[in-house]
Amino acid sequence: MNWKASIAAAVTLLLWSSAFAGIRYGLEAGYTAGHVVLIRFLSASLAFAVYALVKRVRIPRLRDVPVIAVLSFCGISIYHIALTFGELTVPAGTASLIIATAPAFSALLAAFALRERLNLVGWGGILLGFVGIAVIAFGSGTGPAFTRGALLILLSALGTSVFFVYQKPLFARYSPIDMTAWFTWFGTIPMLWFLPGLLVQIQHAPVQATLVGVYVGVFPAAIAYGAWAIALSSGRIGLVMSTLYLEPVLAILVAWVWLGEIPRLLSLLGGLIAIVGVIVTNVWGRGRSDDRAAQATEAVLAEAVANMAPGDGETICEKG
């Protein structure tokens, strides 16, 4: 992985890892889950609007709008709404462990939707990943049962997996940051459902909680998603994605320092099992022919993005 992709991935991991604790902080400070997620993505949308004022953001082709809208709903709306509501009952560190299983869902979706072949080791890794998910979910509550919060965060992992698997073809036609801006704008629209009462709650909530809400919108959302798009477009997708295995470790450390949270031992065990399953699937689960095909696809996508003319297509807010 080159230096540009490495730096972008590192920035993404540090910011994303702080989001879990930031969300939990807003909830504990008295904000409703709906208002936490809305403040976050109104801030992220505003950040990308400012970006559009100084840079060119390409307007999507009409035929691509339905795909962008659906992916935004899965990867932004469902992911962040379900995650935020899930953290009402699930600690920040435990939530990060469940989200870390998303690559298992991605591999499963790719096997069926994109016909990426998995060998027996790959299927075994996916099974191990789901065993880990079950252990995390059981360990996130006070008794031996799945909590609603754990199931909501599991839905988040599924939503972001759909988002990652099906967005790849769009990067052959649009720059990564432009796509991230449109995903954010489209994904924020369903969150407006939570708009009633927002101004009243902002007036009564602690200022620090509001500032944290803005922080998790501008930094772990807007800036981190943009950095992640740069990492994916600058390095090998497989190598970049593998850095996500570090996210739960960083998220648990941030939650420990910031909130004093430490996940239950059973959740940590489940997280370890799940991450091992994901690594097995992604490292040893595909045949050599599939690896070569994936590398060829990545090369074509990277070349298409690199060779895209800066002025290709319509843009909004051109500089000068």
CB contact set of 35 (below 8 Å; sequence gap of 6+): 194, 197, 198, 201
Structure confidence by residue, pLDDT tens digits, 192-215: 999 999 999 998 888 999 999 999
Nearest alpha-carbon partner for 161 in 111, 226, 91: 111
Beta bridge partners of 58: 315
Contact (CB, 8 A) for 157 and 130: no
- Alpha-carbon distance of 300 to 79, in angstroms, equals 29
Structure confidence by residue, pLDDT tens digits, 135-189: 766 665 544 445 688 889 888 988 887 887 777 778 778 887 888 899 999 999 9
- Alpha-carbon distance of 148 to 165, in angstroms, equals 26
- Alpha-carbon distance of 114 to 111, in angstroms, equals 6
Structure confidence by residue, pLDDT tens digits, 53-68: 988 888 999 999 999 9
- Alpha-carbon distance of 71 to 222, in angstroms, equals 16
- Alpha-carbon distance of 158 to 101, in angstroms, equals 9
DSSP tag of 60: P
Mean pLDDT value across residues 248-256 = 82
Structure confidence by residue, pLDDT tens digits, 155-164: 898 888 788 7
